[in-house]
Amino acid sequence: MPVNLDGIRTFARLAQNPAELARHARGNIELWANLFVIGWAIAFMLWQGAGFAVIVLTVFAIWAILAVSLNLVVGFTGLLSVGHIGFFGLGAYTMAILTSDPAYEQLRTEAIPTFGWTFFAALPVCIGLAGLAALLVGVVFNRFRDDIFVLVSFGFAIIAFNVFLNLRSVTRGAFGIHEIARPQIGNWVFDGEVEFLLLGLAFLALVMLISWFITTSSFGRVLTAIREDEQAIEVFGYRATHFKLAVWVISAMMTSLAGGLFASWTSFIDPNSFILLESVLLVSIVILGGLATIWGSLLGAMAFVLLEEGMRFIPYLPTEYIGQARQVILGILLVLLMLFRPQGLVGRYRL
Amino acid sequence: MAGNRENARGLPRLINVPGTRLLAALLTALALGYIAWKIGQAPPQALQFAFNGLAVGAVYALLALGFTLVYSTVWFFDLYYGAAAALGAYGVFYLRTDPSLGSRLDPNSIYVNVFFGAVVSGVAAWTLHTVLEPRLRGRTSPEVLRAGVILLAVALGAYTGIVLALPAHIHLTLSLAVGLATAGVIIAAVQRFAAALVPTISPTRIALAAAVPAALLGAWCGYLLTGAPGAGLYLSWGVSCLLAGCVALALYRGLYVYMRERARSPLIMLVASLGILLAIAALIVIVFQSAPRALPDAFGSTPWNIAGARIKGFNVFAIGVALAGFVGMWYLLKLTSFGRAVRAIGDDEEVSKVVGINTTVIIAVVFFVGAMYAAMAGILTGHDTALQPRMGLLLLLKGWIASVVGGIGNLYGAILGGFVLGLVEQFGIWDLAGEWKDAIAFVLLILFLSFWPKGLLPRR
Amino acid sequence: MTGNDEALALQTEGISKHFGAVRAVDELSLSIPRQGTTSIVGPNGSGKSTLVNLLSGVLPLDGGMVIIDGVGLRVVHAHETPDHGLTRTFQEVRLFDQITVWDNIMVVLTDRRLFSSLFERIRPANRRKAQEILESVGMWEKRDSLAMELSYGQRKLLEIGRAMAMDVQTYLFDEPFAGLFPQMLERVKDIMKQMRADGYTIVFVSHNMDIVRELSDRIIVLDSGTLLAAGDVEPVLGSAEVIEAYLGA
């Protein structure tokens, strides 16, 4: 049974008993990983001050939602999907088109349909559309496994990117969509960064709760069995394809939720946010943090965000190379993980 | 073991629904019929698309050939392969953009030169040791052998560094290597011939007799090269391919060997090579920046007009390279003992080890050759269109698709799949805009995996 | 005829399976009665494992019909076999490696339906049953370790325990005794004897003739995918053609 709140439990125990800590810490990579990332996060936030911390945490919340929902597919079901960026983009574009300011959009030469809805009205549509798309894609993809699944999921990401870039009458292509509305309840607009952060964390909590509910149920146990041996679990009376399809759709819906949130937060999106590379980075977050644990995904997302922000303070590193340097480090980390720790930092499943 | 391999391929069974084959046949017939009708509407345009398809298909075929060679030997998808394509193309750019050659960006950097020098000396040290050790065993002490190998390897690495550091004078720096290589080839050829004609003479004596004319010929070749600065472009193709191959070999020997010993599944190897691809793509951006780059004109860049279609000589050349690559691979795999060893390893690595095949060496050569094919494909793409840091991943995926379409692990399938993919992409964008061609490729892949999971020509 | 069918747990009518040119199972017709123990023997490559895979739907049929519990099936879907009262173990042990021993048992005790399984936590009845089974195969202390960490014999036992948890009428055991130490072997034998006494139908594949003689009520001998002989143990094993197939092979 995957123990999801392991990190928190460990800390709770350690806080009470320093002697236990010393004994436990020796050679325990999980503990060190937890301590390192959380310690780094706290130190960083304290050093940089509240304003910056809020932004970092918001980015973290969005990546964490993505990582937790992708972990359902990669870690628990064993389908290495590199295509989830497609659902992220679908959510973001749906949100953008439904909520962008019609008055502003009319000024552009190439008009796209605008609706001017509010965030909370558009969110169910985002999720529903992604669920529908995932259902269609999943029916086709359900038959593929292992590396062929990786290949077709690459394909999905590329097809999705092509649609975002080239379906100009809907997405305005490379120009992107501006003036996406911030969330709003009645007259209260989530305008400030702190309010938005709270909203993001609330959604993250919701996604974690759903993931926890799924993975601790019998359904979750069947998923892990499918990951281990799909044919064997069929013999015991489960229709593996249905279970895979269900978790794929759920995961895609949660991913598109993150997409909607992202669009609303940045208030401007263009196809460059949804390139294949982002998807690969997302997969590396999930693997880095730990497969088949929810806590691991949080840890991976936090490490990833801190890696980028921390890079800013490396002397002699020109700012335009920060993204690349992070990518190099992530790549090397992936290789090292696969060599020495194929389950990731705190994972429960080795690839 | 067999079960594992089946698992590794992850190929699905054909959909178990009656009429699937019929539906597939119907779809194919409809598509072909539509294309035939389109061709009838506008023959010159059709000729143009067909030619473009073959030109693009040549690149895909090259990629698929190398990809299928590597995959059907080690049975995991090595994503470094995409990075090799990008490295090949950017290698040519690196060697051809010295300010004295008229370029504004000078990417030449001491770090890059030292890095590749180190890679080459590492690879050379291992290769020399593997080649020389069994021959000199008992004749020299291991210490002497090791010292000699290290000395030679360092010298080779330094030489590589110098070649890379002076891109404008590549025809001068490389004339030495070309001369030596020519002499070596001549000696080897004479040896072979003489041994076949007069088996009684000792090979050493033949080599000695051939050495003088060979040295003279080699020196002459080298001298000719020093007077031909225009040869720099073609020399840089060779250097670029060799370097991409060396990196592949270093990766295999330095990393994959250990990783394969403990890997539980091919996915581990896939993810690790994905990490390498990520790192190399980012390093390329750091060295060359992210803006698209163009390679200098190769020959035949002005199009000819044939029956209303514009045809570039360079594209014809690319098709020729693909066919030559196919013939070379066919010779290597079907007619040499190396090919037999490769097939044996592909069938069962453990058994091959037991019957005395040095699997590490054979697989190392496979990686080297595969990466060279990828690099050549990258170079052809680079000359035809533009260089982008992300081109590696996309080319890798195209090669992957082409080998699935053709039939994974089948040599003939690889070249067929490449051309089919190229043609489908080009005819597909006849009605859609050109931007959609990547999407078309993946739709083709998914159709194939659904209806012909084993590809056009399945591996027997 | 119908009365006869009632007494049959499993029946095949001319089933075939080809791998390329190799006819692994060729027009095979046999019947296995309800209750008691039936063993399937035959030389290597005689199609024993293929037969088990065909009966349990792991491999698709190339032709013929399988009749499980009186229901004729031209296509056997693996996920429907428990509904027909059939389950199996695998020749090469196929446990769910990276989950715990406990979950390996629990996974076959839970709800098969998608939505209800989503809302199902471990039920007390299932908990008791899993504990019972783990204790009966002697694995209760190991319940929290991963299945991949077990020894070979323990894995074999756990797989049998997992099949027992299904609680169906007919059990197909593919080579349950292969590679076991004598102590483990006795344990598996005891389990199978107990199941037989409880009125289940047991079909097992084995190479070990002593165990076959000891355990089975009936025997089926296969040779290159066809039925060589079937019936009571001693007459079949004593017959000339069976001896020839074994010694000649």
Give the residue extent of every domain in chain C.
2-95+170-248, 97-149
Q: Are A271 and A165 in contact (CB under 8 A)?
A: yes
**Using only C-alpha atoms, what is the Rg of chain B?**
24
- The span from the CA of A40 to the CA of A200, in Å, is 21
Confidence of residue C103 (pLDDT cuts 50, 70, 90): very high
- Report, as an integer, the average pLDDT of B153-163: 95
Mean pLDDT of chain B: 87
Classify C175 as helix, strand or coil: coil
- Return the closest-CA partner of residue B268 out of C221, A351, C218: A351
Which tokens sit at A72?
A: 């359902």
Q: Which residues of B touch C60 (CB under 8 A)?
A: 13, 16
Backbone angles phi, psi at B195, to 5 degrees: -65, -35
Under CATH, to which class is C2-95+170-248 assigned?
alpha beta
Judging contacts by C-beta atoms under 8 Å, the chain B residues touching residue A280 are 274, 278
Q: Which residues span the domain enclosing B390? A: 52-451
The pLDDT score that the predictor gives to residue B423 is 93
Question: Is B102's pLDDT higher than 70?
Answer: no
Which residue of A151, A163, A327 is in closest CB contact with B282?
Answer: A327
Cα separation, B400 vs B370, in Å, equals: 13
Q: What gap in Å lies between CA C74 and CA A116, rounded to an integer? A: 57
Q: Does A212 touch chain C (CB under 8 A)?
A: no
Q: Tell me the C-alpha to C-alpha distance, in Å, between residue C5 and each of A30, C2, C56, C71.
A: 59, 5, 19, 10
Cα–Cα dist B354/B363, whole Å: 16
Which is higher by pLDDT, B158 or A184? B158
Interface with chain B: mutation pick from A324, A332, A337, A341, highest number of B CBs within 10 Å: A324
The pLDDT value recorded for residue A24 is: 63
- B443 lies within 8 A of chain A by CB: yes
Determine, yes or no, domain membership for B271. Answer: yes
pLDDT above 90: percentage of residues in chain B: 49
User: Alpha-carbon distance B266 to B74, whole Å?
Assistant: 9
Could you write out the three-class secondary structure of chain B?
Answer: CHHHHHHHHCCCCCCCCCCHHHHHHHHHHHHHHHHHHHHHHCHHHHHHHHHHHHHHHHHHHHHHHHHHHHHHHHCCCCCHHHHHHHHHHHHHHHHCCCHHHCCCCCCCCHHHHHHHHHHHHHHHHHHHHHHHHHHHECCECHHHHHHHHHHHHHHHHHHHHHHHHCHHHHHHHHHHHHHHHHHHHHHHHHHHHHHHHCCCCCHHHHHHHHHHHHHHHHHHHHHHHHCCHHHHHHHHHHHHHHHHHHHHHHHHHHHHHHHHHHCCCHHHHHHHHHHHHHHHHHHHHHHHCCCCECCCCCCCCCEEEECCEEEEHHHHHHHHHHHHHHHHHHHHHHCCHHHHHHHHHHHCHHHHHHCCCCHHHHHHHHHHHHHHHHHHHHHHHHHHCCECCCHHHHHHHHHHHHHHHHCCCCHHHHHHHHHHHHHHHHHHHHHCCHHHHHHHHHHHHHHHHHHCCCCCCCCC
- Mean per-residue pLDDT for C165-192? 90
Give the one of A1, A214, A235 whose C-beta lies nearest to C56's C-beta: A235
Non-local CB neighbours of B98 within 8 Å, separated by 6+ positions: B106, B108, B167, B168
Task: Give the per-residue pLDDT at B24.
Answer: 82
Cross-chain Cβ contact A342/B268 below 8 Å? yes
Asked if C60's CB is within 8 angstroms of B16's CB, the reply is yes
**pLDDT at residue B6, rounded to an integer:** 40
Share the mean pLDDT of chain A: 88
**Residues in chain C closer than 8 A to B16 (CB atoms):** 60, 75
Return the pLDDT at A2. Answer: 41
Name the residue type at position B360: T
Across the interface, do A225 and C107 touch by the CB < 8 Å criterion?
yes
Contact A170, A114 (CB under 8 A): no
Contacts of A243 in chain C (CB under 8 A): 114
In this prediction, residue B12 has a pLDDT band, given cuts at 50, 70 and 90, of low
What pLDDT is recorded for position A347? 86
- Cα→Cα distances B446→A133, A148, A193, A282, Å: 16, 10, 43, 23
Q: Kindly report the number of other CB atoms within 10 A of residue B196's CB atom.
A: 8
- Do A237 and C114 count as a contact with CB atoms less than 8 A apart? no
d(CA A262, CA A282): 15
Q: Which residues contact B167 (CB under 8 A, 6 or more apart)?
A: B94, B95, B96, B97, B98, B101, B108, B232, B236
Q: How confident is the model at residue B134 (pLDDT cuts 50, 70, 90)?
A: confident
| Distances in whole angstroms, Cα of residue B187 to Cα of each of A319, B213, B224 | 55, 9, 20
SS3 C13: strand
What is the predicted pLDDT for the residue at B4?
Answer: 37
Q: How many domains does chain A have?
A: 1
Q: Which amino acid is at B127?
A: T
Place of tokens 């991976």: A300
Query: Does the beta carbon of B16 lie under 8 angstroms from any beta carbon of chain C?
Result: yes
Q: What pairing do the DSSP bridges indicate for beta strands A188-189 and A184-185?
A: antiparallel
C72 touching B (Cβ < 8 Å): no
Closest CA to B302 of B291, B290, B311, B292: B311
Cβ-Cβ contacts under 8 Å, C21 against chain B: none
Average pLDDT over residues A82-88: 95
- Confidence category of residue B389, pLDDT binned at 50, 70, 90: confident
A216 Cβ under 8 Å from any chain C Cβ: yes
**Distance from the C175 Cα atom to the nearest Cα atom in chain B, whole angstroms:** 18
**Residues near C58 by Cβ (< 8 Å), separated by ≥ 6?**
A231, A234, A235, C78
CA of B331 vs chain C CAs: smallest distance (Å) = 29
Of A275, A295, A310, nearest in space to A71 by CA: A295
Q: What is the pLDDT of residue A6?
A: 57
Which helix (H) or strand (E) segment holds residue C16: the answer is: strand C8-19
Contact status of C113 with chain A (Cβ, < 8 Å): no
Residue ranges of A 279-318 with Cβ closer than 8 A to chain C: none
Q: Do C117 and A234 touch (CB under 8 A)?
A: no
Is B3–C60 a contact, with Cβ atoms under 8 angstroms apart?
no
Q: How far is C60 from chain B (nearest CA, A)?
A: 9
Helix axes B437-451, B411-431, angle to 10 degrees: 130
Residue B194 lies in a domain: yes
Tens digit of pLDDT for each residue in B340-352? 999 999 988 889 9
List of chain A residues whose C-beta atoms are within 8 Å of the C-beta of residue C114: 219, 242-243, 246
Is any Cβ of chain B less than 8 angstroms from the Cβ of A14? Answer: no
Asked if residue B258 is part of any domain, the answer here is yes
Question: Measured between CA atoms, how close is B215 to chain A, in angstroms?
Answer: 45
Pairwise CB contact (< 8 Å): A237 & C83: yes
This prediction's pTM:
0.91
* Distance between CA atoms of residues A106 and B146, nearest Å: 75
Residue ranges making up the domain that contains A326: 6-340
Give the residue-averaged pLDDT of C96-125.
Answer: 91
Whether B379 and B420 have beta carbons less than 8 Å apart is answered as no
B356–C contact, CB cutoff 8 A = no
C residues 105..144 contacting B (CB < 8 A): none
Among the partner residues A149, A166, A331, nearest to B282 by beta-carbon distance: A331
What's the burial of B390, exposed, middle or buried (CB within 10 Å: 0-12/13-18/19+)? middle
pLDDT band at B8 (very low <50, low <70, confident <90, very high): very low
Chain A residues whose CB is inside 8 A of the B274 CB are 280, 283-284, 331, 334
The pLDDT of residue A5 is 55
Q: For residue C75, which residues of chain B lie inside 8 Å, CB to CB? A: 16
Domain assignment of residue A349, yes or no: no
Helix axes B437-451, B20-41, angle to 10 degrees: 150
CB contact under 8 A, B264 and A147: no
**C154-172 burial: b if 16+ Cβ within 10 Å, else e:** bbbbbbbbbbbbbebbbbb
pLDDT bucket at A175, cuts 50 / 70 / 90: confident
Task: Label the pairing between strands C170-174 and C63-68.
Answer: unpaired
- How many inter-chain contacts (B to C, CB under 8 Å) are there? 4
CB-CB under 8 Å, B393 with A145: no
Domain count of the fold of chain B: 1
Residue B10 is predicted with a pLDDT of: 47
Question: Virtual CA dihedral for C238, C240, C244, C245, nearest 10 degrees?
Answer: -70
C81 contacts A243? CB cut-off 8 A: no
**Using 50, 70 and 90 to split pLDDT, how confident is the model at B1?**
very low
B-contacting residues of A 243-282, CB under 8 Å? Answer: 275-277, 280-281
Lowest mean pLDDT among B103-112, B318-327, B417-426: B103-112
d(CA B271, nearest CA chain C) in Å: 19
Question: Which of C114, C127, C149, C172 to mutate to probe the A interface, most A CBs <10 Å?
Answer: C114
Q: Tell me how many residue pairs between chain A and chain B have CB atoms under 8 A apart.
A: 154
Mean pLDDT (chain C, rounded): 88
Structure tokens at A292: 């088949």
Q: What is the pLDDT of residue B2?
A: 33
Query: In the numeric block, which tokens belong to residue A326?
Result: 């992070």
Asked if the Cβ–Cβ distance from A228 to C99 is below 8 Å, we say yes
Reading the block at residue A43, the tokens are 């130190």
- Judged against a pLDDT cut of 70, whether residue A262 lies above it is answered with yes
SS (H, E, C) B26-53: HHHHHHHHHHHHHHHHCHHHHHHHHHHH
Judged on CB neighbours under 10 Å (0-12, 13-18, 19+), B198 is exposed
> Residue A93: which CATH number?
1.10.3470
Question: In this predicted model, what pLDDT tens digit does every residue of B248-295 receive, in sequence order?
Answer: 999 999 999 999 888 778 889 999 999 999 999 999 999 988 888 888
Looking at residue C234, its pLDDT comes to: 85
Can you tell me the distance from the alpha carbon of C220 to that of C226, in angstroms, rounded to the nearest whole number? 11
Mutation choice for A interface testing from B115, B257, B267 by most A CBs within 10 A: B267
Q: Render pLDDT for B13-58 as a digit per residue (tens, 0 to 9).
A: 555 566 777 888 888 899 889 888 888 888 888 888 899 999 999 9
Q: What is the pLDDT of residue C40?
A: 92
CA A219 to CA B94: how far, in whole Å? 54
What's the burial of B219, exposed, middle or buried (CB within 10 Å: 0-12/13-18/19+)?
middle
Residues 6 or more apart from B279 whose CB is under 8 A from it? A327, A328, A330, A331, A332, A335
